Structure 1
Amino acid sequence: MSGPSSRRRPGLLYTAPAFGLSLLFLWFWIGRHHEQPVVYPPPRPINNAPEKEMIREDWDFVRDARNFLMTDARCDEAFPELFKEIDRAVEVRKNDHVTLKELDEIVKVKGYMRAMIYDQQLYVLDAAALAINLREQATLHAIHRAIVTSPEPLPNIEFVFMSDDIAAGTPEAKWSYSRQLNETYNWLMPDFGYWSWPEPKIGSYLEVQMKATAMDTKLAWRKKTNKLIWRGASMELLVREQLVNVSRGHEWGDVKIFSWEEEGPKPESKEILTMDEHCAYKYVAHTEGISYSARLQNLQNCNSVIVSHQLKWLQHHHHLMVSSGPDQNFVEVAADFSNLPETMERLLKNDADSERIAGNNVRTFREHYLTPAAETCYWRKLFRGYASVSFEPEFFDAKGKWRGLPMESYVLERKLTWNPH
């Protein structure tokens, strides 16, 4: 047979084997590709993009209070005085960086939690057997919100935080809610109550702020009760007993100790006040507890004068408290409240000055430095500051397995291991 078709047969004979070999090579290459170990998460550069020039914007409470999307530069601009504690901690460790060995040596006491941020994901690595109410959960949620709302990549870090009133143990780098002046190794983080404090029915911090604002809107300064209010459990704390004793017998005093066991079942009791009910008074007393007291950050939402003894325990925002001058936003008395009577007499005689101090309190805290936006900025600044003097964590352990459990699963099961069910 002759013709064009016969001349094409040799080409087909060569083409078919070549095509088959190509398929075989492709199958072999795909198989080899999938045999290679997959490394996750992939390397990702952090903060390597040139920063865009910012147009300066003044702080606007109505616009910015709940803005979780601020860049690092915008956070600096909006809250220029907020990050003093982070700067202090970085300075302490700039020549003595945090190490993995240091974290390994932290004693796992009640309220201990070890976590890691890796590739914009929060992982729980370890936790104490005993939790403290829902504090650890609240702090994990706050950290997670700061991560997932960040408009910029965050560094990989590994850290330990303590949810107890006192960050017990030896002086390793621990994140804690408060510290004393000599505890320079502690890194201050926002209190758990900035997420929520459900046990005493205080609720979420945004709820506290909304209710305090509503109370202040309803009650002008001149209509507020012209007394000093305080309610609290004794806890056998000397400073609280001193407040009660010094206030006794004075017309300006509405200071009482209650028992949760006695008052808890009686919702109609007038001895326990909600946080916004404190705002109905012109003067609100504050005392520390076992260490700090989370009551203060709630009271600072009232258009009232905070009257506090000299504090021994510091929180992340305490440096913003001003006790004198035109920017005064609280009144400080002696550590034992011994000069409280004369201080109250002076305040009562100078009502306009008291109103000015109360107004400064609201503008500094409720309407600026204790807003949700400020808290989120503080968390992200803490991540970056800590990373600058710490080590780069490993995602896999020595056996090539993931380290820890993603936060999303941990907060549901509230444990690191469990049987399928």
Structure 2
Amino acid sequence: MLMKPMWVVEERKDKTVYRRRCPGASDILTFFFISTCALLFLLVCSILYGTRTENPHIPGLLKEVIPAGRCRCEFSTNFQCDTCLDCASNQAILAANTTEDDLWTFNYRKDKNNYGLDEEQCQSAFPGQYEDIERAVKVRKRWGKVMEQDLSSFDLTKGMVRGMIYDRELYIIETFLVDNVNRQKALASLSALYRSVLAAPPYVDIPNIEFVFSVEDLPAQPTKPMWSLARRVQDHNLWLIPDFGFWSWDMPALGTLDEVANEAVERESVEPWDQKMEKLVWRGKITFAPKLRRALLDAAKGKPWSDVGQLKWTDPNFKEQFLGPVDQCNYMFIAHAEGMSHDTELQHFRSQKQATMMETDDSAGRSYSGSLKYRQLCRSVIVSHKLQWIQHYHYLFRNNGSNQNFVEVERDFSDLSAAMEDLLDHPEKAKRIADNSVQVFRERYLTQAAEACYWRRLIKRWHDVMGFEPKLYKGVEGGASDNGKDGAKRVKREQKRGVRYETFILYEPRIQYEWPKSAAG
């Protein structure tokens, strides 16, 4: 709609007169329409700039309009698990047989990589680890059993896998993996599940189950019953699994989780607590969860205790800025911010092409951060904002009392300075928190023994809520008739479902991406 001329021209005998015309209602509406469009355009451009730029110095007004995305904290986690921690430190002694010499308690050095603990040993060694599984069971008791049609209703999207355990063997039924990162995450999760089943003692029951899981930070269909790496409080239908980094990750600074733990122990044997730098360290990319991470940078800016900085993948000094997981153990205090896992950030840095791809993905960096488990391998104080995302072992967090194992601050980091000053003023408190963290996480709940126990409990309790029995074979119409003559009635034959894990991992990546469709093409 075009605006009418604002001036009216009158021709008189001796001269031409220009008279201003009063605007009408349509003129006013047009003006407001154009102004609103201009403001919206400016707002969108500002938000895009604020979420994409790596410039740490942007106007305060712009910081206010940056959306929090999936990191908006509608709910934050608040766990009370003193009982769990007390049980872990005073675990029951189990009699393996009749002799006193064979009484068993969990020993970190001896049992940390014992994948074959039985149910009683798992419960004794890792109380509190299964809290979210029991929560999910209670949800299904209210909502009903998981039926075969529930799993078939999934429209498999990015990062999803449908699988089955049958007679203690793992089968892959269907996959939808869009790139190599997706594929590696799925293979890592499948490998950890396979190992837990394979290592189970013969007398431990492994029921037949069928399931769907996603390796995306936030599954596309969170209201349906599936396994997920993390969830929010409102995601009642998601069942938590250990994230892919518990198996391994294909980066030189990482590798298997127990490998990183061993390196942390080795580093701290050379540089013990009293030789650590009395500073708070953090490295990360601020465009992943920009509102949250910029708040951390602002709160730590110019502080004498701060070594908080961002990573710019295009910066020629990137290698000097970068700190691997074990390098962070040189510091007494390590900050944590949700947004994207450290292992995923490293993977995306592997090539600039991948980095560019991820920066154009609005969903990137709006979820949990798997870097927390690596930070908890250090004998350092973890300083974290209130968490919105829950992982399977988070029920063991304690932010106060004698069992305190991390320091919690507000999500805007407004009380970060006060928390740091308290820790620096009370070094004995800081040391106690760091020691508690090592005892609870590095030497207990982040061991591979704990992970294997968790997978087996998940399998057992998932079977308890299933309303059907998985079938290894299904009936399909055969190509031959019952009497061999054309036009006769077609008969049904049995077709095996899925492919064994051992075979699937040998397939070329292009086949693994979208099995079984890719195999037929």
TM-score range normalised by the length of the shorter chain: 0.7 to 0.9
State which drifts further: 60-69 or 200-209: 200-209
Q: How does 1:3-42 map to 2 (within 5 A)?
A: none
Cα separation, 1, equivalents of 2:313 and 2:502: 34
Q: How does 1:362-381 map to 2 (within 5 A)?
A: 362-381=438-457
Map of 1:400-411 to 2, 5 A cutoff?
400-411=494-505
| Structure-2 residue corresponding to 1:206 | 258
Per the TM alignment, residue 109 of structure 1 is displaced from its structure 2 partner at its CA by: 1.1
C-alpha spacing 1:353/1:186, structure 2 compared with 1 (3 Å): same
2:147 matched residue in structure 1: 99
Per-residue Cα deviation, 1:364-404 (whole angstroms, up to 9, x for no partner): 00001110000000000000010001131111122211100
Q: CA deviation at 1:153?
A: 3.3
2:269 is matched with which residue? Answer: 217
> Are the structure 2 counterparts of residues 231 and 410 from structure 1 closer, same or farther at C-alpha, using a change threshold of 3 Å?
same
Task: Tell me if structure 2 keeps the 8 A contact 1:301–1:366.
Answer: yes
C-alpha contact 2:222 2:235 (8 A) present in aligned 1? no
- Structure 1: gaps (5+ residues): 1-51
Provide the C-alpha distance between the structure 2 equivalents of 1:236 and 1:140, rounded to a whole number of angstroms. 27
Name 1:393's counterpart in structure 2.
Answer: 470
Is 1:329 the counterpart of 2:405 in the alignment?
yes
> Alignment partner for residue 148 of structure 1, among 191, 198, 207?
198
Q: Is the 8 A contact 2:222 2:238 kept in 1?
A: no
Aligned-residue RMSD, C-alpha: 1.8
The question of 1:197 aligning with 2:249 is answered yes
TM-score by length of 1: 0.84
Question: CA offsets, 1:115-165, max 9 Å, x none?
Answer: 000001100000014142510010011001001111123000000000000
Does the 8 Å CA contact 1:57/1:77 hold for their aligned counterparts? no
Cα distance in 2 for partners of 1:170, 1:337 equals 29
From 118, 132, 150, the equivalent of 1:71 is: 118
1:97 aligned counterpart, secondary structure: coil
Contact 1:54/1:73 (8 A) holds in 2:
no
Whole-Å Cα distance in 2 between the matches of residues 294 and 249 of structure 1?
A: 28
Letter in 2 for 1:57: W
> Which residue does 2:236 correspond to in 1?
184
Name the counterpart of 1:284: 334
Query: Is 1:117 equivalent to 2:165 in the alignment?
Result: yes
User: 2:109 matched to which residue of 1?
Assistant: 62
- Separation (CA, whole Å) in 2 of partners of 1:201 and 1:138: 17
Question: Aligned equivalents of 1:235 and 1:386: distance in 2?
Answer: 37
Match of 1:137 in 2: 187
Match of 2:308 among 251, 255, 259: 255
Q: In the alignment, which residue of structure 2 is the partner of 1:16?
A: none
1:384 aligned residue (450, 455, 460) = 460
Q: What is the aligned partner in structure 2 of residue 6 from structure 1?
A: none
Check the 8 A contact 2:177/2:183 in 1, yes or no.
Answer: no
Q: Deviation of residue 235 (structure 1)? A: 2.2
* Cα separation, 2, equivalents of 1:75 and 1:302: 24
Q: CA deviation at 1:60?
A: 1.2
Q: CA 1:54 to 1:86, structure 2 compared with 1: closer, same or farther past 3 Å?
A: farther
**Separation in 1, partners of 2:288, 2:124:** 44
Structure 2 contact 95–104 (Cα < 8 Å) conserved: no
Aligned to 2:74: none
| Counterpart for residue 271 of structure 1 | 321
Q: Hey, what does 2:36 align to over in structure 1?
A: none
The Cα of 1:409 is off from its aligned counterpart by 1.3
Q: Extract structure 1 runs of 4+ deviating beyond 6 A.
A: none
Helix, strand or coil for the counterpart of 1:243? helix
SS at match of 2:458: helix
CA distance in 2, matches of 1:303, 1:408: 38
TM-score of the two chains, using structure 2 as the length reference: 0.68
Structure 1 counterpart of 2:284, from 228, 232, 250? 232
Distance 2:177 2:134 in 1: 33
- Quote the offset at 1:201 in angstroms: 3.8
Deviation at 1:166, TM superposition (A): 0.5
Give the CA deviation at 1:199.
Answer: 4.4
Q: What amino acid is aligned across from residue 257 of structure 1 in structure 2?
A: Q
Report whether the alignment pairs 1:161 with 2:255: no
**Match for 1:149: what amino acid?**
A
Q: Tell me, yes or no, if the aligned pair for 1:133 and 1:199 is still in contact at 8 Å.
A: no
Cα distance, 1:206 vs structure 2: 1.3
Q: 2-side partners of 1:160 and 1:375: how far apart? A: 19
Paired residue secondary structure (2:295): helix
Identity %: 37
Q: May I ask how many residue pairs the two structures share in their alignment?
A: 366
The secondary structure found in structure 2 opposite 1:335 is coil
